[in-house]
């Protein structure tokens, strides 16, 4: 396939991701959203872009360094991709700062939150920031001299201040410029993470703050005494975080991952952000010292690192400038007073978080830890919360003598340090900890509880689309299934024995596992729809997931479209498929939803000759998920569970409130709104509340008389 044909059939993965981040930024632009929610989306879009440069751009730099000739699905080499990324990312950065300067700051001030410059402060406020400078900065800050070829080692993703000073021949200090004339010199003051990014000042307004770099610039003479400051500006480095561990050869994975964490602080610089006031000469000096090209330099017209504003967006108070809070609702089919094992044994429990509470998942593990009838607990952990009740329960279970086996993935990017800490605590408690599977990431979400009951051994399982993280379970949409079904239990036991025992799993009864069978199962399901369409039978495929980037799956979907299969896909982020191309994909529709909760659930629905097959999964349709990770595809077979998942998909595809339609050129546009508009997330919250209200209405009324205490 030549390059032109590839570009007609596929969308570049990195550019598709940037389009996703634009949709996030659009929520910050949308003035119908409350201002603190707009600020939150702006901060998220900036944080997303930081990670994109650390990982995706970092990976492309590694490809260039290794002289890779591997082309991605549209036929581009790493260097060609970086050129295209530069144009689109620079446009996005300019939009972020224009939004912050022209709209967000003004609206925040109207809401009672003022971001002031140092020149706007009155005497009392200046006294307050001077105290901050003396206490927090001057006593601990360290100006670092800069000379050509000896640039200081500065931390990743932290703000630094650069000062260009008039030289002093008598001091014989490092130079910036002509060596003989001692004209100028350069010093850097790292702000780092120990100094607050902004300082709150006394104010008549509910909240007023100043960025710390503004304060340091203003009082910089304390560092430099009588020397003349010719120029001062902030800059920020982004380092390559795509550090990989070859766990096929390493003997100590924990030690290797700790080395990776160290490398991230000193890795190659892949982006230089500089404040818009910086002179061309200073930018050129920094660029040369860091071995960067113009492509890696981003000039920002405002405070660097706007993601640091997230604490303001989530500050307490100001409720009138946030979304009305939605509370996770109780699961009406699970008794709050009886053992959760009884509820699961009665029927499969299908939960939709965060509309329905995550507590039943936590209860399953915490009850198992305390239950004398429980013999063993097995669980996969990928990303966990800081104060995890689940891990605390696993610790208690191990300490009480139960058999506890945890597959804890150390290669969960940016969560490595926390996972290493948890692993050591679990091992100390007596749990068996397996650090993932050699050569693969363990991304599956599964729990197995083995319990001795009067009728014999019963296995209780949880499978989910999201991590065992109680905090993100309040912010991400995910699906859970809790079941005591014998076949699920058998498959779960086989799954855990395979990943902890260094063996290949035997034939599974219901679930499919990557990398051994999940791709095959998915492609078989698509093939059935193709065959049925060719026979004139009903045929459709519907899916909701995060990313679509696997070449083979995309090509098979094109084949299905050409055979007459109707395909509806709700893809939150990356989508390398081009929908609606005549003769290729005219039967494929792709939508994307960005709303208050991060869409994270993965649900698949196949017509299967009108018999309906519904699955949930931990995996997206990406090569890394299907071939390089341990993942699970789990069928939903109960009638009520299938109906629930099908209704969920129906609601998603009817959304015209926050949904975007993908066009064949890879761009997105808001779906045209109907009247009344359909907000899928609002519908799900209303339904969860209604289920609780209906259950309370059905609950029998009982009278309990007061009796004498004597």
How far is Cα 432 from Cα 4, in angstroms, rounded to an integer?
A: 52
In terms of phi and psi (left: phi > 0; alpha: psi -120 to 50; beta: otherwise), the region of 156 is: beta
**Does pLDDT of 383 surpass 50?**
yes
Q: Are 20 and 31 in contact (CB under 8 A)?
A: no
Q: What is the pLDDT of residue 477?
A: 98
- Which of 65-79, 171-185, 249-263, 641-655 bottoms out in mean pLDDT, i.e. has the lowest? 249-263
Tell me the per-residue pLDDT of 154-189, one tens digit each, with 9 for 90 and over. 989 999 999 999 865 444 444 444 444 346 788 999
Q: Are 146 and 235 in contact (CB under 8 A)?
A: no
Query: What is the C-alpha R_g of the chain?
Result: 28
Average pLDDT of the chain to the nearest whole number: 90
CATH class of 514-691: alpha beta
How far is Cα 120 from Cα 636, in angstroms, rounded to an integer?
A: 60
What are the tokens at 197? 């990014």
pLDDT over 90 for what percent of the chain? Answer: 74
User: Catalytic residue at 428?
Assistant: no
**Does pLDDT of 44 surpass 70?**
yes
What's the CA dihedral at 86, 89, 94, 96 to 10 degrees? -160
Mean pLDDT score, 97-120: 96
CATH number of the 340-509 domain: 3.30.870.10
Alpha helices in 52-188 (DSSP H): 58-65, 78-99, 105-110, 123-132
The domain spans of the chain are 3-321, 340-509, 514-691
Q: How confident is the model at residue 136 (pLDDT cuts 50, 70, 90)?
A: confident
Nearest one of 585, 495, 508, 499 to 548, comparing CA atoms: 585
In terms of phi and psi (left: phi > 0; alpha: psi -120 to 50; beta: otherwise), the region of 473 is: alpha
In degrees, rounded to 5, the angle at the alpha carbon of residue 553 between the alpha carbons of residues 548 and 554 is 65
Tell me the per-residue pLDDT of 308-341, one tens digit each, with 9 for 90 and over. 999 999 999 999 999 999 999 999 999 999 999 9
Identify the active-site residue in 218, 353, 443, 605: 443
Name 147's bridge partners.
150
Alpha helices in 298-453 (DSSP H): 310-313, 340-346, 359-370, 389-399, 416-429
Nearest one of 673, 675, 650, 651 to 661, comparing CA atoms: 673
Q: Are 68 and 627 in contact (CB under 8 A)?
A: no
Domains 340-509 and 514-691 share a fold: yes
Mean pLDDT score, 536-546: 98
Q: Superfamily for 3-321? A: Polyphosphate kinase middle domain (3.30.1840.10)
**Does pLDDT of 204 surpass 50?**
yes
In degrees, rounded to 5, the angle at the alpha carbon of residue 651 between the alpha carbons of residues 472 and 617 is 50
Tell me the per-residue pLDDT of 441-500, one tens digit each, with 9 for 90 and over. 899 999 999 999 999 999 999 999 999 999 999 999 999 999 999 999 999 999 999 988
Going by the DSSP 8-state scheme, the letter that residue 276 receives in this structure is T
What are residue 201's phi and psi, to 5 degrees? -120, 155
How far is Cα 368 from Cα 347, in angstroms, rounded to an integer?
A: 18
Nearest one of 431, 493, 432 to 459, comparing CA atoms: 493
Q: Are 653 and 591 in contact (CB under 8 A)?
A: yes
pTM strictly above 0.85: yes
Q: Are 575 and 599 in contact (CB under 8 A)?
A: no
Nearest one of 691, 696, 708 to 355, comparing CA atoms: 691
Q: How many helices (H) and strands (E) does the chain have?
A: 22, 27
Could you tell me which residues come within 8 angstroms of residue 625 by beta carbon, excluding any fewer than 6 positions away? Answer: 443, 514, 619, 631
> Which residue has 């561990």 as its token pair?
245
Tell me the per-residue pLDDT of 617-659, one tens digit each, with 9 for 90 and over. 999 999 999 999 999 999 999 999 999 999 999 999 999 999 9
Buried b (16+ CB within 10 A) or exposed e, 115-135: bbebeebeeebbebbeebbee
Q: Are 574 and 17 in contact (CB under 8 A)?
A: yes
43: part of which helix (H) or strand (E)?
Answer: helix 35-51
Could you tell me which residues come within 8 angstroms of residue 207 by beta carbon, excluding any fewer than 6 positions away? Answer: 112, 113, 114, 200, 312, 315
Mean pLDDT score, 514-524: 96
How far is Cα 575 from Cα 572, in angstroms, rounded to an integer?
A: 8
């Amino acid at each position: 396939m030549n390059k032109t044909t590839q570009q007609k059939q596929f969308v570049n993965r990195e550019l598709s991701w940037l389009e996703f981040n634009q949709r996030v930024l659009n929520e910050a632009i949308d003035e119908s959203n409350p201002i603190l929610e707009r600020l939150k989306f702006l901060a998220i879009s900036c944080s997303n872009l930081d990670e994109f440069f650390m990982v995706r751009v970092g990976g492309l730099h590694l490809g260039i360094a290794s002289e890779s000739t591997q082309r991605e699905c549209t036929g581009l080499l790493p260097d060609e991709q970086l050129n295209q990324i530069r144009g689109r990312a620079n446009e996005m950065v300019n939009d972020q700062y224009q939004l912050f300067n022209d709209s967000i700051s003004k609206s925040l001030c109207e809401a009672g939150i003022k971001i002031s410059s140092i020149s706007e402060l009155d005497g009392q406020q200046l006294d307050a920031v001077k105290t901050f400078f003396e206490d927090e900065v001057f006593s601990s800050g360290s100006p670092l001299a800069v000379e050509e070829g000896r640039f200081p080692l500065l931390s990743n993703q932290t703000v630094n201040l650069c000062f260009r000073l008039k030289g002093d021949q008598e001091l014989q200090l490092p130079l910036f410029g002509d060596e003989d004339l001692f004209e100028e010199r350069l010093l850097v003051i790292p702000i780092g993470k120990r100094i607050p990014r902004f300082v709150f000042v006394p104010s008549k307004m509910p909240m007023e703050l100043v960025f710390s770099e503004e304060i340091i610039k203003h009082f910089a003479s304390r560092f430099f005494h009588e020397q003349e400051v010719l120029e001062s500006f902030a800059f920020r480095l982004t380092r390559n975080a795509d550090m990989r561990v070859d766990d096929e050869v390493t003997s100590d994975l924990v030690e290797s991952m700790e080395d990776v964490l160290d490398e991230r602080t000193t890795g190659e610089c892949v982006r230089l952000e500089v404040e818009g006031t910086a002179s061309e000469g200073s930018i050129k000096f920094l660029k040369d010292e860091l071995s960067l090209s113009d492509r890696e330099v981003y000039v920002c017209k405002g405070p660097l690192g706007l993601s640091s504003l997230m604490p303001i967006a989530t500050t307490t108070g100001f409720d009138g400038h946030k979304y009305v809070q939605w509370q996770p609702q109780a699961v009406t089919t699970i008794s709050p007073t009886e053992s959760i094992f009884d509820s699961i044994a009665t029927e499969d429990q299908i939960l939709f978080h965060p509309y329905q509470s995550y507590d039943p998942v936590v209860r399953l593990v915490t009850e198992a830890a305390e239950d004398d009838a429980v013999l063993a607990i097995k669980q996969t952990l990928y990303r966990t919360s800081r104060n995890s009740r689940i891990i605390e329960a696993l610790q208690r279970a191990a300490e009480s003598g139960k058999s506890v086996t945890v597959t804890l993935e150390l290669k969960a990017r940016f969560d490595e340090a926390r996972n290493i800490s948890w692993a050591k605590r679990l091992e100390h408690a007596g749990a068996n900890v397996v650090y993932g599977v050699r050569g693969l990431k363990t991304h599956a979400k599964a729990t197995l509880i083995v319990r001795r009951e009067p009728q014999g051994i019963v296995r209780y399982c949880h499978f989910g689309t999201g991590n065992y993280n109680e905090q993100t379970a309040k912010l991400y949409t995910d699906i859970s299934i809790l079941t005591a079904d014998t076949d699920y239990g058998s498959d779960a036991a086989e799954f855990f024995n395979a990943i902890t025992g260094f063996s290949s799993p035997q034939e599974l009864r219901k679930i499919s596992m990557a990398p051994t069978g999940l791709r095959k199962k998915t492609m078989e399901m698509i093939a059935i729809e193709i065959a049925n369409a060719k026979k004139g039978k009903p045929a459709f495929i519907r899916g909701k997931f995060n990313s679509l980037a696997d070449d083979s799956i995309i090509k098979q979907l094109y084949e299905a479209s050409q055979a007459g299969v109707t395909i509806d896909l709700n893809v939150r982020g990356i989508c390398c498929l081009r929908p609606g191309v005549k003769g290729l994909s005219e039967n494929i529709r792709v939508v994307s939803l960005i709303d208050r909760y991060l869409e994270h659930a993965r649900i698949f629905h196949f017509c299967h000759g009108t018999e309906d097959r519904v699955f949930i999964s931990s995996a997206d349709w990406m090569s890394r998920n299907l071939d390089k990770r341990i993942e699970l595809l789990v069928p939903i077979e109960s009638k009520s569970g299938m109906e629930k998942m099908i209704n969920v998909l129906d609601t998603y595809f009817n959304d015209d409130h926050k949904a975007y339609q993908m066009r064949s050129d890879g761009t997105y546009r808001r779906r045209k709104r109907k009247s009344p508009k359909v907000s899928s997330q609002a519908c799900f919250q209303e339904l969860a509340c209604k289920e609780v209200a209906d259950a309370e209405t059905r609950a029998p009324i009982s009278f309990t008389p007061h009796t004498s205490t004597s």
